[in-house]
Amino acid sequence: MNKTFPTPTALDLLVRNATGTIGITAADTDKSTVEVVPIDSSGESAEAAERTTIKLSGNRLTVDVPERRGLLGLRTHKVAVRVTVPTGSTVVAKAASADVTCAGRFAAVTVHVASGDVTVDDVDGDVELHAASGRLRLRSGGRVTAHTASGKVDIGSAAGDVEVNAASGEVRIGVAEASVRVKTASGKVSIAEAHRGTIELDAASGDLRVGVRSGVVAHLDLNTISGRVRSELPVEDSQPADGAPLEIRARTVSGDLLVAAAAAR
């Protein structure tokens, strides 16, 4: 199934596809295209693709793949949804076991998956990524919220506050321009470059590392029960008159803590 709509301005896009793939591209275009195709040769997948609802109402584009379950409640179809919308659109994508990819620049992105990888390029505003299991990747965003039970979280840069909750899996943040809060049961946490605000890292087991941008004064509060604590930052004899623009509070039960100067870019 293929449909094309004239859309001279950015859209609000909602995509629901339980199983298969969701691929969304933001491009400099004055039209939006939707393609829905079965991934396998089963009749269930072909039927799901044909029965997909594609509707443009005002500034909202909805793509809804019908859910069908077979014996024992198992989903019996796999469908690929590919959508192109104007740059600056807002996206909400919902899936059960499907990989979701958002390529291009968006105004805001929200993705919910049960099991599947999520990859998002660039978002000017809020980003919300939720997964039970699967890797979450974001190249750049504004305010970022990421929740996963098991899976790696990789955030390239964030202009706004970041909140990450993970049961297990590595959490990596490249450049954090504002506050960061990460809570994980097990997994390494690293921030390559912190600038200002409050960095709160809490882990039951796993090494924690924070890089501090050159010239930034940081106040440190670090604690580990069975591990090493090390700071490679120079120590000042007196507190800055205006206080420290960056505060780092890190706790881990078993793991090493390291605060160091961020690598030069």
**Boundary of a domain, candidates 87, 109, 136:** 87
User: pLDDT tens-digit profile of 239-254?
Assistant: 555 656 999 999 999 8
**Boundary of a domain, candidates 60, 87, 114:** 87
Could you tell me the residue range of the domain that residue 145 belongs to? Answer: 125-265
Residues 156 and 250 in one domain: yes
Percent of the chain residues past pLDDT 90, beyond the cut? 70
For residue 136, being part of any structural domain is answered with: yes
Q: Rounded to whole angstroms, how far apart are CA atoms 137 and 90?
A: 18
The answer to whether residues 257 and 222 touch, using CB atoms and an 8 Å cutoff, is yes
User: pLDDT tens-digit profile of 142-191?
Assistant: 999 999 988 899 999 999 999 999 988 899 999 999 999 999 988 899 99
Strand partners, 191: 173, 210
Structural domains in the chain (count): 2
- 138 to each of 2, 12, 67, 123, how far by Cα in Å? 29, 20, 28, 9
For residue 112, being part of any structural domain is answered with: no
Residues 57 and 143 in one domain: no
Question: Given this model, what pLDDT does residue 234 score?
Answer: 82
For residue 105, being part of any structural domain is answered with: no
User: pLDDT tens-digit profile of 40-85?
Assistant: 888 888 888 899 999 999 999 999 999 865 544 455 678 999 999 9
190-205 residues labelled b (16+ CB within 10 A) or e (exposed): bbbbbbbbebbbbbbb
User: pLDDT tens-digit profile of 213-240?
Assistant: 988 889 899 999 988 999 998 876 555 5
User: pLDDT tens-digit profile of 100-114?
Assistant: 999 999 999 999 999
Residues 176 and 54 in one domain: no
